[in-house]
């Protein structure tokens, strides 16, 4: 069983640390454990947001909080304009990917040629619904994260926070995580410019390989992103196609940042 402290010890080994640690939550009290406890979770969460990793993909029927119309009547507590629905933001959501429009339930009018008795994937997914994350308040006035959309019965596909569950990770993602964390351990534990450059280079290579493998295992996309969309990196309404977003309504992933202000 792989646990977070195992990833930390791998990263410590990569920077040449002689010590190993036994715990980061809580810290075992050593300087190495204290530093790992500081950087482990934020680095892993940033890495999880840096691609649409299959191992972190989660799909749920979202919990509806508000609707503009109820039984044909305007609600007394509608979501913000111009949206028709407000849903609870999942507690384990690190990054929303897309909202599925409702799949067709009727029998196809033309015979299927696949022999599976099911809709082909292209027909199952009618498209992605536009949306935006937002803030609201609960019944006690406490701030809560929500997302707004015009899609009823919304199914949200998102990147889940599996930073504390290395056993769920793909093997190449695990190596990318170890290298990424190692790059953040250099300055507080070794303060070596050449070593930092080596760790950042190793992290970029490991993450690149993990992204490629993960992408090759997923369904291919032939969607063409217009240059004006790619250059402007349109976001806000769930339209970000800059990194990994293959059509309008599908959010792209984030850049991975490294010590020294480098991004990838």
Mean pLDDT of all residues in 173-199:
96
pLDDT at residue 262, rounded to an integer: 80
User: Residue 87: which region, alpha, beta or left (left: phi > 0; alpha: psi -120 to 50)?
Assistant: beta
Give 264's pLDDT tier (boundaries 50, 70, 90). confident
Rg (CA), the chain: 22
pLDDT at residue 6, rounded to an integer: 98
CA-wise closest residue to 207 among 15, 46, 41, 5:
46
φ, ψ (nearest 5 deg) of residue 230:
-60, -45
Q: Distances in Å between the alpha carbon of 31 and those of 4, 24, 27, 37, 62?
A: 17, 11, 9, 10, 42
pLDDT at residue 168, rounded to an integer: 96
Mean of per-residue pLDDT scores for the chain: 84
Q: Distances in Å between the alpha carbon of 246 and those of 89, 151, 166, 243, 256?
A: 23, 20, 28, 8, 19
What is 126-176 written as a DSSP string?
Answer: --EE-EEEEEEE-TTS-EEEEEEES-TT-EEEEEE--TT-GGGS-HHHHHH
Give 249's pLDDT tier (boundaries 50, 70, 90). low
For residues 166 and 243, the model is more confident at: 166
What six digits make up the tokens of 184?
């953040």
pLDDT digits (tens, 9 = 90+) for 80-90: 999 999 999 99
What six digits make up the tokens of 75?
């609600």
CA distance 181 to 199: 9
pLDDT at residue 250, rounded to an integer: 73
pLDDT digits (tens, 9 = 90+) for 90-132: 999 999 999 987 655 554 454 444 444 444 443 344 578 999 9
Read off the pTM. 0.82
Instruction: Work out whether strand 69-70 and strand 73-74 pair parallel, antiparallel, or are unpaired.
Output: antiparallel
What six digits make up the tokens of 31?
């300087």
Instruction: Work out whether strand 57-61 and strand 155-160 pair parallel, antiparallel, or are unpaired.
Output: antiparallel
For residues 219 and 86, the model is more confident at: 86
CA distance 84 to 81: 8
pLDDT at residue 33, rounded to an integer: 98
Q: What is the DSSP letter of 106?
A: S
pLDDT at residue 105, rounded to an integer: 54
Range scoring the smallest mean pLDDT among 35-49, 58-72, 109-123? 109-123
- Going from N- to C-terminal start, the domains of the chain cover 1-53+170-217, 57-160
Check pLDDT > 50 for residue 163.
Answer: yes
For residues 127 and 7, the model is more confident at: 7
pLDDT at residue 215, rounded to an integer: 87
Enclosing H/E stretch for 93? strand 93-100
- Residue 157's contacts (CB-CB under 8 Å, 6 or more residues apart) are 57, 58, 59, 96, 97, 98, 99, 100
pLDDT digits (tens, 9 = 90+) for 145-160: 999 999 999 999 999 9
Instruction: Work out whether strand 257-258 and strand 155-160 pair parallel, antiparallel, or are unpaired.
Output: unpaired
Mean pLDDT of all residues in 126-145:
91
Gap between the terminal Cα atoms of the chain: 30
pLDDT at residue 229, rounded to an integer: 45
């Amino acid at each position: 069983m792989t646990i977070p402290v195992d990833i930390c010890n791998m990263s410590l080994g990569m920077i040449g640390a002689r010590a190993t640690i036994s715990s980061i939550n809580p810290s075992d009290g050593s300087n190495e454990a204290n530093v790992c406890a500081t950087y482990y979770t934020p680095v892993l969460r940033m890495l999880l947001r840096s691609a649409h990793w299959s191992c972190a993909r989660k799909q749920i029927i979202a919990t509806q909080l508000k609707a503009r119309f109820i039984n044909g009547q305007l609600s007394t507590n509608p979501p913000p304009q111009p949206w028709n629905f407000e849903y609870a933001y999942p507690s384990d959501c690190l990054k929303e990917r897309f909202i599925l429009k409702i799949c067709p339930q009727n029998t196809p009018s033309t015979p299927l040629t696949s022999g599976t008795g099911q809709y082909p994937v292209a027909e199952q997914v009618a498209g992605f619904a536009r949306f935006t994350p937002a803030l609201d308040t609960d019944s006690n006035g406490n701030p809560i994260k929500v997302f707004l959309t015009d899609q009823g019965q919304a199914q949200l596909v998102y990147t889940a926070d599996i930073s504390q569950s290395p056993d769920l990770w793909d093997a190449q993602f695990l190596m990318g995580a170890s290298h990424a964390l190692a790059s953040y351990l250099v300055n507080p534990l070794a303060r070596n410019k050449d070593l930092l450059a080596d760790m950042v280079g190793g992290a970029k290579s490991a993450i690149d390989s993990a992204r490629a493998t993960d992408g090759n295992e997923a369904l291919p996309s032939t969607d063409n992103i217009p240059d004006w969309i790619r250059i402007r990196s349109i976001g806000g309404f769930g339209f970000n196609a800059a990194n990994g977003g293959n059509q309008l309504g599908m959010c792209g992933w984030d850049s991975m940042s490294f010590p020294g202000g480098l991004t990838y």
